[in-house]
Structure 1
């Protein structure tokens, strides 16, 4: 049998046929393409250049923000005020006869002095504002308005009222001039005039600043719910965190006066989150924490409020808190600071007769308190002065005369009617000394009902006095139903 492998037809094997030229070219192209794809697939990823987002547009400069706030009657931030002052001072070195710039500089100094309690700013403000008036004696409403605001800061309410009226005569439609005029009328105890000025303001303009001013008028007329509603709307509509913080702080004050320290604390905390430099809100926070029994936190809050340039009224509050805790040496230290602070502020033109009279009546020389407060009453007879004078007279044993002033502080003459627990307490204690148990009981109960935390020292005295008076008689007509 023939081996097929040995067959002559198949051996030797035939040479393989070479591919055609076209096929070779196709194969070559395919090999090149495959190489390129492999290189691409195996190569590390190439990072694409980052596309930069467009830079955000720069916000307005702090000085211009502060200027806008001042021009609209709104609170301004401390950094903004400092920037505005620096800008205006640079401008005035080059243009010293720019009356408008001098007026803006003066207003900025007033506002910064109000925030920091620095009387040096008051002096600078007066110089700037009077320079503006000298350069432009006629129709310079902005400078006149600034002088009204400065007088209010110095507690010179008569001068503030005069400057405010002059500003409105110079420019009747200048709605921001109504704010210092209203504050002056409240300081003088003329609540009907304050309401009249507010009514005129509301016909001219409506804004968060106007709502807050309405709240101040309503508060001093005893309409606390209306005041709280106005402040709520003002805070919701505020144009800046600093402005909103100011209105929240005022809402906290009203909540505390209503005897609700928990609500007040929420307002003060919110104000401080928005504007950490608001030291008056820190003092309010200390007041409410003390009412809630959180003493250590209260003391820290007061120390924050009293940093750098303490306000006399806050030194008095802290001293009385220490005294209520039995820490007499620390209380005395605060009282010494208060006296020194008032000496400096008085030398700078600030009228601190009211707070000094209150201090002397309870912790110093009541006779000197009577002399100071009588003079203050003759000069500017406000509701707070009537109450302080009544208490000083009581502390010197002149209770009949004291009751006359206590009635002025607690009744609605002149359109007032502020619901103040301390005023009611003072009147009740005076009536108790005069042997009038019915009216005394009513006013002491009113004080504790209005705000059971109104004073760390006086609350316990009110409770003790009320317990000593006992229950009212079961039979017979109520004694002295008119309260007189």
Structure 2
């Protein structure tokens, strides 16, 4: 029996001696060799590629990274070349084109998106919800909100419980000024789904309905629950815009900086930094932030903001260069089927031909009678010397029953200036003061004009307390 155990005993002793020897050896090189000899832990699952992550994001209604979108587009282009009848790949390709065009402010992607989405419908004409929803997203990106509503409602009819269709419809309804329909759609969405993407969508509706506190709370929860950095960055950018609109440039700057850190391609956050830094008097940094944003995403709205900042700093040549860039980008957008008439109308009203702005914005109003268009058209009419007509649109833009921007400083400023021109001094004083209360830094050009107008109007007259009629005592 002892002889039978001798071999295992000696073997165990030998193992113990080897372990002591290994433990006594020092030095990184030797330790590295020992680690190679030790058993390896089983490898975890491979991380998904950026294209696979973008595929999941595009399909679930959350933001995707630009590198991921580029990889996804390359994969799907290869797939449809190999299988021209692959309806699903065509639909994914179209959706990726839309998102990339939107992120880059490059409308050249939109005709490609339309071609891909229609190829998907041709390959699968029946019950192709993904392609129909893609056409809704494309229409919204082009600001053709009537088409967005039509395609969105068609997609919803095909699959009423497909939650990612609801945000598309909310965007379309909002763009058309149909805020009650947007709220009803949000209610149905929240019955079907919860999570960060839904919270962010709810925040936008709350903001449009004049409930900024609810919007801020929803965005805080959305950012906290976001799974990917690019998603969290998108919600923080939205929170930064809201903080700026509420007159808190310090908080806005914190949100924008964190968003840009998480996603360096988050150009809206970089432009937001420009607005916040300008409000804080840090103009050199503001100019740099705007230039970085425009280099990566030459959005007409950013060019207008930067031009007005240059103008406020007494740099008219630099301002005109930005206004020229804006006009160039609007022409490029039109070539891609996108409508940038609203921002061009705003430019013409303040820095070009107000009469041309009125014509352009009247056409825009016929297409979509939304509060933002009412505000722009009212201001253009005022600038063109028609304040009586302008007031009707200014009242419409600030009517909360119609989804108006009651808490929007720019809308209040426009209304107050129109009322001042019409010698409605009490109303003008009230609304100009309200604009500065909401956000004292709402515009580098117009906020100083609002302060000057309030000063010119002076204090309200002291009419005293009316005496009580003797017969009423």
User: Which portions of structure 1, spanning 4 or more consecutive aligned residues, are displaced by more than 3 angstroms?
Assistant: 43-48, 52-57, 415-418
Q: TM-score, normalised by structure 2?
A: 0.90
Answer yes or no: is the 8 Å Cα contact 1:214–1:230 preserved in 2: yes
- Cα distance, 1:375 vs. partner? 0.6
Give yes or no for the alignment of 1:284 onto 2:284. no
Q: Check conservation: 1:219, 1:418, Cα contact below 8 A.
A: no
Per the alignment, residue 91 of structure 2 pairs with 103
- The aligned counterpart of 2:105 is 117
| Structural mapping, 1:46-445, within 5 Å | 47=30, 49-52=33-36, 54=41, 57-445=45-433
Q: Distance in 2 between matches of 1:196 and 1:178?
A: 10
> What is the CA–CA distance in structure 2 between the aligned matches of 1:80 and 1:413, rounded to whole Å?
42
2:103–2:297 contact (8 Å) kept in structure 1: no
1:114 and 1:281 mapped to 2: Cα distance? 15
Indicate how the Cα distance of structure 1 residues 58 and 437 shifts in structure 2: closer, same or farther if over 3 A, else same: same
Give how far 1:289 is off.
0.3
Contact 1:191–1:416 (CA<8 Å) still a contact in 2? no
Task: Measure how far apart 1:170 and its partner are.
Answer: 1.0
Contact 2:210 2:400 in 1 (8 A): no
**Cα distance in 1, alignment partners of residues 463 and 431 from structure 2:** 21
Matched pairs, number? 437
1:475 paired to 2:460: no
Q: Give deviations 1:293-332, integer Å, cap 9, x for gaps.
A: 0001000100000005411110000000000000111111
Distance 1:309 1:228, change over 3 A: closer
Displacement of 1:337 in angstroms is 1.2
TM-score (norm 1): 0.88
Aligned CA RMSD, in angstroms, stands at: 1.7
CA distance in 1, matches of 2:122, 2:233: 36
CA distance, structure 1, for counterparts of residue 335 and residue 135 of structure 2: 19
Please tell me whether the aligned partners of residues 264 and 288 of structure 1 are also in contact (alpha carbons under 8 angstroms): yes
1:183-225: CA deviation from partner (whole Å, max 9, x where unpaired): 1111111110100000011111112111111011011001111
**Cα 1:475/1:342, change in 2 over 3 Å:** same
Task: Work out the CA distance in 2 between the residues paired with 1:96 and 1:414.
Answer: 47
| Alignment gaps of 5+ in structure 2 | 1-20, 467-473
Residues 24-79 of structure 1: per-residue CA shift (max 9 Å, x gap): xxxxxxxxxxxxxxxx9xx9989463314656643111111111111211111111
Q: Deviations over 1:106-132 (max 9, x none)?
A: 111111111111112111111111111
Match of 1:14 in 2: none
Query: How has the CA–CA distance of structure 1 residues 45 and 418 changed in structure 2, closer, same or farther, with 3 Å as cutoff?
Result: closer
User: 2-side partners of 1:459 and 1:248: how far apart?
Assistant: 25
Structure number with greater Rg is 1
